[in-house]
Structure 1
Amino acid sequence: MKNIKYIYSIVCLLLANTMFAQNQAAGSPQTKAIALTGATIHTAAGKVIQNGVIVFDKGIITAVGDANTAFNKANTEVIDVAGKSVYPGLISPANQLGMVEIEAVRATDDQAEIGPINPHVRALVAYNTDSELIPTVRSNGVLLTQATPQGDIITGMSSIMQLDGWNWEDAVLKKDDGVHVNWIGYFKREFDFSTFTATTKKNDKRDELLRELDKTFDDAIAYAQIKNPAVINVKMEAMKGLFDGSKNLYISADYGKEIIEAVQFAKAKGVKKIVIIGGEESLLAADFLKENNVPVIVGTTHRLPNKVDDDTDLPYKLPQLLQQKGVLVGLAYIGLNWRTRNLPFVAGTVAGHGMDKEDALKLITANNAKILGIDKLVGTLEVGKQATLIVSAGDVLDMRTAKVEQAFIQGRKVDLDDKQKRLYKKYAEKYGTK
C-alpha cells in the first residue's frame, strides 16, 4: 500500500510539472497584412536593402523594396523595425530535431529503426512538435529543419518540417523529400565513451554490405518498372521517386574516394538527383562533383581537419573553396540535434574565413532551400514566396550581436519564448541579476 501511495505521489508530481512546463501554442494563421518597415533586409537573393519594407499577406510576401515601396497602409499592420535586420528563416538540413528529446531516455529517442535497409521509414511521423528543444532552436532564427532518420545503410525518408505547428501534419512543408544512405566506407569510426577516444578500423564487412545495397537498388529498379504491382512492396515504393527525379538520394560520405564511388554507384543505378551530406574531404572530389552536378551539404565546420598536414582552418574554409570550384554548397550542423541552434554561427565562422557574409547567409537559406527542393517556397525574401522570416536586433551570424526578436512562419507570428529563457527569468529574479 505504501508503494502504491508513493507511486501515486510521483505520478502526480510529474503531471504537475508537465502542466506548468508546456510549450506555447502554435501561431495563428495571418488574418491581416503585415508590413515590416525601416529594417535592413537581407533577401539572400543577391540584394541587401537598406531602410527597406517587406509586406506579406495570407502567409505570402507581396512586396519587398526600399522605403518608397507603395502598399495599402489602411488595411495593413505596420511594424516599425528600424535599426534591425530582416532575414529569411534559417534552414537546418540533415538533423534529428524533434525526433530525440532526451538521449539517455530510450522512450524519447525515435530517430532510427531496427535493421540495415529501411527506405520506407518516414521521419515525419516521429517528429514531435511539443519538443522542448524546438523553441530553443527557433530562438536563434532556425525556422525549418529536415527531419532525417538515422540507421545503418538505408535509413529512411526525410521530410522538411516547419518549427511551428500543433502536430506533424501541421508542421510538414515537404513530405518524404528524399531517401538517405550511409555510404559503406573502407574504414569505420568507433567512439569509446568510457575514454572519449575515437579509433578508425578497417571495415571487414564492406564487400558484403555493398552487395546488399546493390541488390536493394536492383530490386527497386525492377519494381519501379511495374506499372500496377499486384502486391505493394512498401520498401520498393519508397525508392521509386529516386528514378523519376521526384526524390533526392542523400548520401552521407566523407572521404574523397568514397564520395566519387558513391556518386558513380547512384548514377549507374539511374538515380536522378544526388546530394552528398558531410563531405569532409569533398574538396578532393570537387571537380567530379561539379561535372556531375552534385551539391554538397557540408557538415559541421567547427572541427579539426581530417589530416595532420591539412591547414587547421580548412574545415572553416571548405564551403568557400567548394563554391569557388563551382559546387552548390549548403551547410548543416550534424551531430547533437539541440546544437543545430548554432547553425547561424557556423555560417558566421565561414564568413570569418574568407566568404562574403551574404554568401555565407545563403549557405543556410537559399542554397539549402535549393538543394532540398523547397526554393520555390522559402529560402529568400522575394515576392510570391512564403513569409517565413526573422527580425534580429543584430547580425544573426554573429553570436555576440544576434538577438532574434520576431519570427514569422507562413505569416504566422511565432512566440519566441522557450524553456531556457523561462529558467533565466526565474533565477534572475531569485538572485537579483539582469
Structure 2
Amino acid sequence: MLLIKNGRILTMTGEIIENGSILIENGKIKEVGKDIVVPLDVEIIDANGRLVTPGLIDAHCHLGIWEDGIGFEGDDGNEWVDPITPHLRAIDGINPMDRTFKEAYEGGVTCVATGPGSANVVGGQFVAIKTYGNRVDDMIVKEPLAMKVAFGENPKRVYHSQKKSPITRMATAAKLRETLFKAKEYVEKLEKAKEDESKMPEFDMKMEAMAKVIRKEIPLKAHVHRADDILTAIRIAKEFDVDITLDHCTEGHLIVEHLVKEGKPAIVGPSLTDRSKFELKNLTFETPGILQKAGVKVAIMTDSPVIPLQYLPLCAGLAVKSGMDEMEAFKAITINAAEILGIDDRVGSIEVGKDADIVIFDGHPLRDIDCKVYATIIDGKVIYKNKI
C-alpha cells in the first residue's frame, strides 16, 4: 500500500482538498480525503503542501511510433503507399524503449493516445497506453481506441507526389465515404450470416477493422485543421451515423457556433509550433479557450514528437495565458482528455476505484516555467521521484 499525505489535491471532480491524503492499494485509489486511517507497514510520500493531480493525459500523439533522434529506421507512423489502411494497429509499431517515454512520465504525463500519422485517408488504429513499461501489451488502457482518418493537405501532398488519388479534398472525402459504404455493407452481411451462414462475406481484414467504427465501438479520430475540413468530417460522420473526434481543430474558433450545435469534442493542438503549412495560417493559443467558453468539450494535445510530451502542461498554461480558464485547462489535460477518449472509467481524475496514476508537482505546472515533477505514480507504483 502507498499513502500520499499533506497534498493540495486537485481531484478534477470539482473538489480541491487542502492537506489531503490518497490511499492506494493494488494499483487503485482506495480512499481520498483528510482523515484517512493509515494502515501499518504502508509506504508514505509526504507531499508537504505540494500540488497533487491526476496523471496528465495527451489525447493525441505519436509516442513510440516516431522514435527519437533517428530517421527512417524509427519512422513507423505512415504506410503511405495505400490511402486506405484501417487494418494497421499502433501496438505493432510502438517501441516502449524509446527515451521519450521516460521524458513523458518525468514530465507528469502518465497516459496517451498514440497511433498512426495523417498521410493516409484512413491511417489505422490508435491505442491508449500508459507511459511506463517495456512491453506495450502490458501498458494498454484501451485497444483499439479509435480509427485515424485525415482530411486537408496531408493526404493531398502525399499522393500528389505519387501521382495517384487522392490529390483533392473531394477525392479524400470520396475515398473515406467509399470505405464506410463498404464497411457498412460488410457489417450487414455479417449480421445476416448469423442466421444464414451461406451469406457470410469473404474475410476482409480492412473491413473487419472498419466494422468497429460502423458498430460505434470506436470513433473516427479525424485530423482536421481548416474550418471546411472540420465541417466535412462532421458531414461524413453524420451521413454514416458514426462517432468522431475533431483532432487539431486549428480553425475551430472560426466556426465555434457550428461545433456547439454539433456537440462534437475537440482535441486542440499542437499550438506551440510555426505555421508550417497553409491550413495553419489561423493557428492560435486562443482556440481552446474560445471553444471551452462556448461549451465545447476540449482536450489539449502535443502531437508528439511535434511538441515533446513533457511540455503538455506548458501548452495548457499558454492556453490559460490566451484566455482559457485555468481549471478548464487542467481538465483539458486530465479528465476531459479521458472522457473524450472513453477511458475515464480508469484515468483522468482522483477518485476511488480508478487507476492510481498521480503526479506531485513542486510548483504550479501551468504557471511556473521552473515547475518540476516531484513524483510520478503509475498504477500505484512510484516510477519517478525527483531529488529536489
Query: How would you bin the TM-score normalised by the shorter chain?
Result: 0.7 to 0.9
Alignment of 1:164-175 (within 5 A): 164-175=132-143
Query: How far, CA to CA, are the matches of 2:184 and 2:353 in structure 1?
Result: 38
Distance (whole Å) between structure 1 residues aligned to residue 292 and residue 129 of structure 2: 27
Structure 1 residues 333-371: Cα deviation after superposition (integer angstroms, max 9, x where no partner): 125256122111010111223323221111100110000
CA separation in 1, counterparts of 2:72 and 2:276?
A: 32
Aligned residue pairs total 370
Tell me the distance in 2 between the aligned counterparts of 1:109 and 1:185.
Answer: 20
Alignment of 1:87-102 (within 5 A): 87-102=53-68
Q: Any conservation in 1 of the 2:63–2:304 contact (CA below 8 Å)? A: no
Instruction: Work out the CA distance in 2 between the residues paired with 1:367 and 1:304.
Output: 26
Deviation at 1:230, TM superposition (A): 4.5
Partner Cα separation in structure 2 for residue 183 and residue 290 of structure 1: 21
Query: Which of residues 214, 226, 229 is equivalent to 1:258?
Result: 229
Residue 67 of structure 2 aligns with an amino acid whose one-letter code is E
Separation in structure 2 between the aligned mates of residue 94 and residue 82 of structure 1, nearest angstrom: 33
The structure with the larger Rg is 1
Determine what percentage of the aligned residue pairs are the same residue: 29
Judged with a 3 Å threshold, the aligned counterparts in structure 2 of structure 1 residues 186 and 386 are, in CA distance, closer, same or farther, namely closer
Preserved contact between residue 316 and residue 366 of structure 2 (Cα < 8 Å)? yes
Contact 1:304 1:315 in 2 (8 A): no
**1:296 alignment partner, one of 254, 266, 275:** 266
Shift of 1:258: 1.9
1:205-264 CA distances to partner (integer Å, 9 max, x unpaired)? 333333322211110110011224353211111111212221011111111122112101
1:345 maps to 314
Q: Could you say what secondary structure the match of 2:147 adopts?
A: strand
Could you say which residue in structure 2 is the equivalent of 1:82? Answer: 48
Once the 2 structures are TM-superposed, how far is the Cα of residue 93 of structure 1 from its aligned partner?
A: 2.1
Distance 2:154 2:219 in 1: 24
User: TM-score scaled by structure 2?
Assistant: 0.88
Q: Give the Cα separation in 1 of the matches to 2:101 and 2:304.
A: 15
Letter of the structure 2 residue corresponding to residue 159 of structure 1:
V
Aligned to 2:366, which of 381, 397, 413? 397
Unpaired runs of 5+ residues, structure 1, are 1-32, 191-202, 422-433
Supply the AA of the counterpart residue of 2:101: I
Distance in 2 (alpha carbons) for counterparts of 1:181 and 1:362: 25
Equivalent position of 2:175 in the other structure: 212
Which whole-Å deviations, capped at 9, do the CAs of 1:271-319 have from their partners, x for residues lacking one? Answer: 1x210001111122222222222100001222568999x999x722211
Partners of 2:167 and 2:93 in 1: CA distance: 33
TM-score of the pair, normalised by structure 1: 0.79
Kindly indicate whether residue 31 of structure 2 is the aligned counterpart of residue 63 of structure 1: yes
Q: CA RMSD in A?
A: 2.7
CA distance in 2, matches of 1:349, 1:337: 16
1:284 is aligned, of 254, 267, 274, to 254
**8 Å Cα contact 2:292/2:324 also seen in 1:** no
Partners of 1:357 and 1:317 lie apart in 2 by 13
- Cα distance in 2 between the residues matched to 1:249 and 1:307: 24
C-alpha deviations, 1:122-144, integer Å up to 9, x for none?
00121111111210121110111
**Whole-Å Cα distance in 2 between the matches of residues 133 and 335 of structure 1?**
9
Q: Distance in 2 between matches of 1:138 and 1:123?
A: 20
Query: What SS does the corresponding residue of 1:327 show, helix, strand or coil?
Result: coil
Change over 3 Å in CA distance of 1:244–1:188 after alignment to 2:
closer
Aligned partner of 2:259: which letter? Answer: L
**Which SS does the other structure have where 2:267 is aligned?**
strand
Change beyond 3 A, Cα 1:284–1:73: same
The alpha-carbon distance between structure 1 residues 415 and 332, as it changes in their structure 2 partners (threshold 3 A), is same
Q: Is the 8 A contact 2:155 2:172 kept in 1?
A: no
1:116 aligns with 2:116: no
- C-alpha displacement of 1:204: 5.1
SS in 1 for 2:317: helix
